[in-house]
Amino acid sequence: MRFEISKVLDAIEGRVCVDPSLVRAVVDLAEIIRYADLDGGRPASMLRLGITIDALGRQLEEDGVQVYAVVHRGVLSDGDLTSNERMVVRRWADDGLVEVLNNPTERVLEVADLLGLPVLSRQRFDGMRGRYPWVAEGPGRLLAPISGPNGPTLKARFGNDYPTAIGPSPAGAKVLARLWRCPEPGCALFGSGGGGAFADLARVERKPAAQAPPSLRTGTPTCPRHDHRLTDGGPRPRVEVLAVRIGGQVRQRFVVSPDQPVIVGRAPEQPEGIRLGQWLNDEARRWISRNHVRFELRGNELVAQDVSTNGSGVRPGGSMAETERVPLGNQQSRVLASKDFVELYPGVQVGRAAGLASGGGFNPSSVMAEAPTMAMRLPKQI
């Protein structure tokens, strides 16, 4: 059993980050892990984070959704968690995948406010409505993870139950235009990235464009972990958020930044590459090369270059008319307009996330699926 739990935690690890371009909701981890009625299990369980992420994915009709987790320091010594679970949270904190704070409640709302994201919580935040009116009035901005007739679901405090992102606030956009540096040595959130004797040992490479939003609680950009005033580290690189849609279903989002082209294929050698193999049928797997399309930002342009054996096609403006399809092969490149996407094989598409929604008949896969024995203990609807 321990082995399966570890595998689930590994899978969940891929769904927590602080990258403003990728996260889809904000959670207070200390709270989420205690929603015992979601699975009827122990008083505290990290698996409930996975259950909640699954519910978010179902409601957004996307696989692979990521959340921004803010963690009360007490979780690191919470005796209701297993030592393995506590160790995992500590690792996430050290790697800068989550924020560990003494008082996370306000930070949860601040991050959601700066990034314009929904909060997944059962709290009402009544005392915070003055500063954050959307907790009471924002449609789809505050959603409670609850048990439903069809499995765990998200119930909005106001408006319909679709987790609604409205994009960064003016203050958020301003602060996200820059990179920030914390004077605390080894700060996992606002560290220098390259410095430190143990920089080579960091498990997670810190990408500048993926840096968390600073706290503005004091009026100036501040490290939420160390309370130090941050210094300006220069402009934040511009990024494009792309999505992989297979069979009408969005499977994964990823970021292309100027210093990081991304290769999409069956099984790219590039560590940051997007591996499609797991989602492909035999024919698609035979057609699609290990490295198939390379996406790169050149200035303000998103460029797709075919690096495959069999070639790709571009669908201009998202049009599925065969007469408009532009073949792409033999190392050819093409600048992608806002709604263009690349088709690697019929039904296997990559383009800007904003233009690629899941089609009808969404059939989600679960972050918990790594561990069948664990999943079976959850309500059978999962």
Q: Which residues here bind Zn ion, judged by CB under 5 A?
A: 182, 184, 187, 223, 225-226
Residue 225 vs 251, nearer CB to Zn ion: 225
Q: Least CB distance from residue 218 to Zn ion, whole Å? A: 14
Closest listed residue to residue 17, CA positions, set 90, 68, 91? 68
* Strand stretches in 29-82, DSSP E: 66-72
In angstroms, give the least distance from the CB of 234 to Zn ion. 18
Q: Which residue has the tokens 């092969």?
A: 329
User: What is the spatial distance between Cα 299 and Cα 302, in angstroms, rounded to a whole number?
Assistant: 8
Shortest distance in whole angstroms from residue 192 CB to Zn ion? 11
Q: How far is the CB of 37 from Zn ion (least distance, A)?
A: 36
Residue 64 or 191: the one with the smaller Cβ distance to Zn ion is: 191
- Considering the complex, state which of residue 42 and residue 226 has its C-beta at the smaller distance from Zn ion: 226
- Of 38 and 175, nearer to Zn ion (C-beta) is 175
Min dist CB 195 to Zn ion, Å, is 13
Of residues 182 and 356, the one with the C-beta less far from Zn ion: 182
- How far is it, in rounded angstroms, from Cα 118 to Cα 59? 12
Of 72 and 226, which CB lies nearer to Zn ion in the complex structure?
A: 226
Helix axes 47-60, 2-13, angle to 10 degrees: 50
- Give the C-alpha separation, 381 to 152, whole Å: 9
Beta bridge partners of 302: 297
CB of 271 vs Zn ion, minimal distance in Å: 27
User: How far are the Cα atoms of 21, 101, 240, 257 from residue 262, in angstroms, in the given order?
Assistant: 16, 33, 11, 9
**Given the complex with Zn ion, which of 95 and 184 has the nearer CB atom?**
184
36/226 Cα distance (integer angstroms): 32
Q: Can you tell me the distance from the alpha carbon of 374 to that of 367, in angstroms, rounded to the nearest whole number?
A: 11
Shortest spacing between CB 89 and Zn ion, in angstroms: 18
- Going from the C-alpha of 356 to that of each of 282, 284, 308, 317, 365, the distances in angstroms are 24, 20, 23, 11, 18
